[in-house]
């Protein structure tokens, strides 16, 4: 129950920054479209209808693209902290673009020229800056799948082109990871220890003993490992649908995707 609540909180914290990003995108799109459609400046200074329609299509495309991207990012493998960082870069892009617009306006004032109408210039450049910031943020933040690919060297889960079911199980696995890479490594180690057996089922004490005795990411104290498994890792992996606990036999069984189990079994041991 506690793990379910934690995952629900994690989902909320992932959706919030992307919800804010969508709101900013829609707001910028609406005010820019409102200007393009019926602003008095355009009535007094008419220009090519073709160019105007192209600008309207461009604004709709940029605003809609960012909104759709925000939704997809909220459902992606990015951690909550990474989504907040992406949102931060998007806002930085807006502020940077507004700074550029301010510089252009200052140039207009100094040169007594008229390069662009003030509000439209700020609105359009802010939207472009939002797109640029979003793109930069996405390009510079690794997803949980990227992190999984480098966790613990050869023990990593490498995502290959495969079945939809396999991808869904890998995604479900990485959603059980915390931002603490040590915790992530330990959960991978637990699953791999079980799938490396013929039956893909082990007694709970045997798992704790193996993880403590081997050169793994767990301490060499069997009791400490058992407590950590019971309190944190096993409940999280059970809740995610990868493990099942047989209370009568005191065993833990891997019940996740067979494709994922085979892929983990192919990984070279440390």
- What CA–CA distance (Å, rounded) separates 179 from 181? 6
Residues 130 and 218 in one domain: no
Angle, to 10 degrees, between the axis of helix 118-139 and the axis of helix 2-38?
A: 150
Residues 254 and 214 in one domain: yes
Whether 119 contacts 125, CB under 8 Å: no
Read off the pLDDT of residues 216-231 as tens digits, 9 standing for 90 and up.
Answer: 678 888 888 888 888 8
Residues 84 and 154 in one domain: no
**Structure-token pair, residue 128:** 């472009």
Range of the domain at 226: 147-266
Residue 95: CB partners within 8 Å, gap ≥ 6?
Answer: 129
pLDDT of res. 80: 74
pLDDT of res. 176: 52
Domain stop point among 141, 158, 179:
141
Residues 121 and 188 in one domain: no
- What CA–CA distance (Å, rounded) separates 204 from 120? 65
Tracing tokens 């129950």 back to the chain, one arrives at: 1
pLDDT of res. 65: 93
Residues 35 and 61 in one domain: yes
Residues 131 and 7 in one domain: yes
The number of domains in the chain is: 2
Whether 207 contacts 216, CB under 8 Å: no
Query: Structure pTM?
Result: 0.55
Residues 129 and 22 in one domain: yes
Read off the pLDDT of residues 137-149 as tens digits, 9 standing for 90 and up.
Answer: 888 876 555 555 4
Residues 12 and 58 in one domain: yes
Going from the C-alpha of 250 to that of each of 35, 43, 203, 245, 265, the distances in angstroms are 68, 78, 6, 7, 23
CATH code, 201 = 1.10.10.10
**Structure-token pair, residue 32:** 């820019």
Residues 133 and 153 in one domain: no
Angle, to 10 degrees, between the axis of helix 49-74 and the axis of helix 118-139?
A: 40
Read off the pLDDT of residues 38-60 as tens digits, 9 standing for 90 and up.
Answer: 766 666 666 677 877 888 898 89
Residues 66 and 37 in one domain: yes
């Amino acid at each position: 129950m506690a793990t379910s609540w934690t995952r629900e909180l994690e989902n909320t914290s992932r959706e919030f920054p992307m919800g804010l990003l969508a709101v900013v995108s829609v707001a910028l799109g609406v005010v820019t479209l409102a200007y393009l459609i019926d602003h008095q400046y355009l009535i007094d200074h008419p220009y090519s209808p073709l160019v105007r329609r192209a600008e309207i299509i461009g604004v709709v495309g940029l605003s809609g693209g960012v909104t759709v991207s925000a939704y997809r990012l909220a459902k992606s493998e990015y951690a909550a902290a990474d989504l907040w960082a992406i949102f931060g870069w998007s806002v930085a892009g807006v502020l940077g673009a507004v700074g550029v617009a301010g510089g252009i306006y200052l140039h207009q004032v100094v040169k007594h020229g008229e390069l662009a109408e003030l509000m439209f210039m700020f609105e359009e450049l802010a939207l472009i800056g939002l797109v640029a910031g979003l793109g930069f943020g996405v390009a510079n933040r690794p997803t949980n799948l990227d992190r999984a690919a480098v966790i613990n060297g050869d023990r990593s889960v490498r995502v290959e082109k495969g079945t939809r079911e396999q991808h869904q199980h890998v995604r479900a696995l990485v959603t059980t990871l915390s931002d603490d890479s040590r915790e992530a490594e330990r959960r991978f180690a637990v699953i791999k220890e079980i799938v490396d057996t013929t039956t893909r089922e082990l007694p709970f004490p045997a798992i704790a003993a193996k993880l403590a005795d081997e050169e793994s990411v767990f301490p060499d104290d069997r009791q400490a490992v058992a407590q950590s498994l019971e309190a944190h890792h096993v409940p999280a992996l059970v809740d995610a649908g990868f493990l099942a606990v047989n209370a009568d036999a005191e065993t833990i069984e891997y019940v996740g995707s067979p494709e994922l189990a085979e892929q983990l079994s192919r990984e070279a041991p440390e």
